[in-house]
Every structure is written in C-alpha cells, then in structure tokens.
Amino acid sequence: MRRRLALILFLVASAILPVPAARPAVPLTAEEQSVKEALRSLLQRQDDAVLTGNRRLLRTVYARRGSMDAFRHAVARQQFLRAWQKVRGVRFEQARVGLRTPRIKFHGQDEVRVTAVVSESFRYHSLRDGAPQEAFGLGTRRWYTLQREQGGWRIRAEDYTDPLDQDTRIPGEALPQEAAHVPLQNLQASVNASTAEKAVAYADTYCGAATGCGNGGRYNPRYDDFNGEGGDCTNFVSQSLRAAGLRQSDAWAWDAAKGDGTRAWSNADGLVDYLLESGRGSLVARGTYAGLTRPRPDGAPAPITQIGPGDIIGYRERGRVVHLGLVVGRSSTGYVLVDTHTADRYHVPWDIGWDRSARFLLIKLHYPMQAPSAQPD
C-alpha cells in the first residue's frame, strides 16, 4: 500500500501520463542520453546483484538517503527469485536489460525524474541432467527519481508493478516445498491446433516490451492500452482469441469507435465467466500449484498436462480473478510458458511471481475448426 501511495503522489507531482503504445521518436540531448545510459547501467547492476544474491552490490545502485523503500523492494525481488528457483529446481544464469525513456525531466543539477520502459531477458536452466539453457522476457513501465552522488547517478525512488513480486502481502517468502517442480507429461495440444497457433503467433507479436516480443516491443495500435486503467491483461488475451478466429458477440466485443470493450472483453472475471458460460472454454481444474502439477489420486495425469498452446491460465486472489495469461508453449522440461500484458511477459514460466496465496484456473479453449484466412485487426 505504501508503494502504491508513493506511485500516486509521484505521478501527480510529476504530471506523468501513462506511456502510449507508440510515440514519435524525439532525439535525446547529450545530457539526457547520459542519464539514460546511467540508468541502464544501474538496472543491469541491480539485476546482476539480484541473481547472485550480492546485497552489497545491490546497495550501490541506490542513493545513500531517501532510497530505503526502493532498496527493500529490490531485496524482496532477490529473495523471491532465490526461493522460486530453489523449489522449482532451476538456476538463473544471467539477465540483460534494455531501456526506452519516453520522458526525462531534470529538477536542478542533482535530481532527474525518468519515465522508462524496461525490457529484461532472464536466462535459466533446469537442474536436471542435460537440460538446455532457456530464456524468458519481461517488460515493465517504471518511474524513477535519480539522485546525483559523487559525480554519478543513483536511484532514490522507483515505482512499478513488478512481475517478480506480484503478491506483496508475502514479499520474498519461499514457495511451499511440496510445490517443488514435478516432471510434466507432454502437454495436450489444443482441440484445433492450427487456429490455436494463430492466438500464440499474435501473442508473441504484440506482447509488448518484454524481450522476445515482436512489433518493436509495442502493443497493437489498433486497440487501446488499459495499463493506466487497471491493467491490460484481459484486453490482450481477448485480442489473441479474436486473432485466432473467435467471433465477437454482444457480450464479448471490442468497439473501435469508442476505444473500449465489453466487460467480458476487458475484465478478467468477465472473460472467464463468458468463456465457461458460452461453451467457448472449459474449466480443466482450479487450485494451488501443487494441486495442479501432481497426478490425481486415481492415477489420472496432473491437470497442468491437460492444457496446451492457446489455452488460458487465470490467477485468483482474494476471491476474484486478477490476471490472465495465454499459454504459448512449454520449456524443454515441460514447464508451461505464458505471454501476458501488465506486466509484459514473453514465454515466462506460468507460476513465477505468484506465491502460496495464489490459486489458479486452467481453461481449455475451443477454437474454430479452421484458422481465419487473414488476421483480424
């Protein structure tokens, strides 16, 4: 709550608007370019410290005064990632950071505020013998205040929705040991794989700022971006389903003239209810990570093996669905991967960023028998 309040105050004080899907490029001045490079270097050092557990290196990213909240958030991310990789049986190898800076505003000689779009790539591998290295991408919109110290810049404040710290009620806690990675059987393909592939192709193209996404790291400009209005995850999933040939209806539709969708189009609970009630989707199972990745007592395979590319995973907290992800494939060891918006994700392990309080819904989509001849707008 404190971080959210800080973000609101920061936005009001800075008069910063949500980052648009596309904006004409304006060349940076030499001074602005220097700030951008300094911030990118700080973020690279931050990720290196987080992955290696080097608390001393992490502290050098932040200003000596006024940065404790930002530093604590980075420590929470560090703790969560270390816990997640331990119970999931994987190891992170490296991270790489890219950066766009739509807004850089100086406040005197020693302070600058930056609106940034940060792209991260994380390389990891399963600890199973012979498992190859894999990678996933993240993209986030962030707001920074940098403080000049001893001739260089340091982070004094940062605000963003962190995809590696989704549930802030239990930041940094280890995931339950009984939920450790379970070998998965081959994923069942979607009922109509050719049309499901259209949804996956669309998601990979328009998943946004995450490293690996297409379209120059930007959303589809034909749709409005709801990042500043509660999140864009459901809007993104609906776009992917439409690209795969699901026809709009009175309940599920996008109105281009109004730049808005129906509740079923843009609300997570609304889309889940619509898919299940209309028969366009079926609930495979709901429950905890452990419950969905273990074989059933009767010998039936684990529910997670029953979904495949083009299907949907819902993320439930406090009695409601707060997030949706589109299944795009699996890792070499069978780990289900998703693309999402808000934050932007490309081929990310489906449960990362969610702790023991989360519950999941696995929804199989029933796509049309034939793929559309042309991708809809």
User: How confident is the model over 329-340, as pLDDT tens digits?
Assistant: 999 888 999 999
For residue 376, tell me if it sits in a domain: no
Residue 249 sits in the same domain as residue 358: yes
Residues 157 and 198 grouped into a single domain: no
What per-residue confidence (pLDDT) applies to 294?
A: 87
**Which pLDDT score, from 0 to 100, does residue 12 have?**
40
Whether the per-residue pLDDT at 20 is higher than 50: the answer is no
Q: Is residue 138 part of a domain?
A: yes
- Diameter of the chain measured on Cα atoms: 68
pLDDT in tens, 86-113: 888 899 999 999 999 999 999 999 999 9
Over residues 116-159, the pLDDT tens digits come to 999 999 999 998 878 899 999 999 999 999 999 988 999 999 99
Q: Which of 120, 140, 174 corresponds to the end of one domain?
A: 174
Do 93 and 38 belong together in one domain? yes
Q: Which of 134-138, 167-171, 295-299 has the lowest mean pLDDT?
A: 167-171
Q: Phi/psi at 8 (nearest 5 deg)?
A: -60, -45
| 56 CB-near residues (< 8 Å, 6+ apart) | none
List the CATH number of the domain containing 338: 3.90.1720
Residues 199 and 330 in one domain: yes
If we measure between CA atoms, which residue out of 122, 120, 119, 99 comes closest to residue 51?
Answer: 122
Average pLDDT over residues 216-239: 93
Of 145, 174, 203, the residue that ends a domain is 174
237 and 127 share one domain: no
Alpha-carbon distance 247 to 235, whole Å? 15
Which of these three, 174, 208, 236, is where a domain ends?
A: 174
**Predicted local confidence at residue 345, as pLDDT:** 97
Positive or negative, the CA dihedral 226, 234, 317, 69 is: negative
| Residue 178 CA: distances (Å) to CA of 125, 181, 289, 333 | 21, 9, 9, 19
How high is the mean pLDDT of the chain? 85
Give 275-290 as a DSSP string.
Answer: HHHHTSEEEEEEE-HH
How much of the chain exceeds pLDDT 90, in percent? 65
Could you give the dihedral angle defined by the CA atoms of residues 203, 103, 160 and 322, in that order, rounded to the nearest 10 degrees? -40
> Do 338 and 264 lie in a common domain?
yes
In the chain, % of residues over pLDDT 70: 83
**What is the distance between the alpha carbons of residues 112 and 115, in angstroms, rounded to a whole number?**
10
Q: Does residue 372 fall inside a structural domain? A: no
**Do 83 and 207 lie in a common domain?**
no
Q: What is the pLDDT of residues 31-64, one digit of tens each?
A: 999 999 999 999 999 999 999 999 999 999 999 9
- Banded pLDDT at 18 (limits 50, 70, 90): very low
CA dist., res. 196 & res. 247, Å (int): 14
CA–CA separation, 260 and 347 (whole Å):
27
- Asked whether residue 20 is domain-assigned, the answer is yes
Q: What is the CATH number of the domain that holds 152?
A: 3.10.450
Half-sphere exposure of 204 (CA within 13 A, CB side): 15
Q: What is residue 230's predicted lDDT score, i.e. its pLDDT? A: 77
Name beta bridge partners: 326. Answer: 312, 339
Q: How confident is the model at residue 229 (pLDDT cuts 50, 70, 90)?
A: confident
Residue 158 and residue 198 in one domain:
no
Among the listed residues 63, 37, 55, 36, the one whose alpha carbon sits nearest the alpha carbon of residue 150:
63
Write down the pLDDT at residue 118.
Answer: 97
- The whole-angstrom separation of Cα 7 and Cα 70 is 12
Claim to verify: residue 339 and residue 296 sit in the same structural domain: yes
Q: What is the pLDDT of residue 360?
A: 96
Report the distance separating Cα 358 and Cα 337, nearest Å: 17
pLDDT digits (tens, 9 = 90+) for 316-369: 988 899 999 999 999 988 899 999 998 999 999 999 988 778 899 999 999 986
Q: Give the mean model confidence (pLDDT) for residues 9-17.
A: 40
Is the same domain home to 19 and 160? yes
Same domain, 220 and 351: yes
CA–CA separation, 198 and 202 (whole Å): 6
Residues 9, 15: Cα–Cα separation, whole Å: 10
pTM score, two decimals? 0.87
Strand partners, 214: none
**Distance from C-alpha of 254 to C-alpha of 141, rounded to nearest angstrom:** 25
Residues in the chain: 377
Confidence of residue 164 (pLDDT cuts 50, 70, 90): confident
Please give the single-letter amino acid code of residue 6.
A
Q: Exposed, middle or buried by CB within 10 Å (0-12, 13-18, 19+), for 290?
A: middle
Do 356 and 247 lie in one domain? The reply is yes
Confidence of residue 184 (pLDDT cuts 50, 70, 90): very low
Distance of CA 158 to the CA centre of its chain: 18
User: How high is the pLDDT of residue 249?
Assistant: 96
- Placement of tokens 């889309």 in the chain: 271
Residue 269 within a domain: yes
Is the pLDDT reported for residue 186 higher than 50?
Answer: no
Q: Give residue 188's pLDDT band: very low, low, confident or very high (50, 70, 90).
A: very low
Q: How far is it, in rounded angstroms, from Cα 353 to Cα 163?
A: 6
Between CA 228 and CA 208 the distance in angstroms is 15
Q: How many structural domains does the chain have?
A: 2
Residue 318 belongs to domain spanning = 193-365
Query: Residue 312's pLDDT is what?
Result: 98
Q: What is the pLDDT of residues 242-252, one digit of tens each?
A: 999 999 999 99
Residue 254 confidence (pLDDT): 97
The answer to the question of residue 187 being in a domain is no
Encode pLDDT of 112-124 as tens digits: 999 999 999 999 9
Token code pair at residue 276? 């299940």
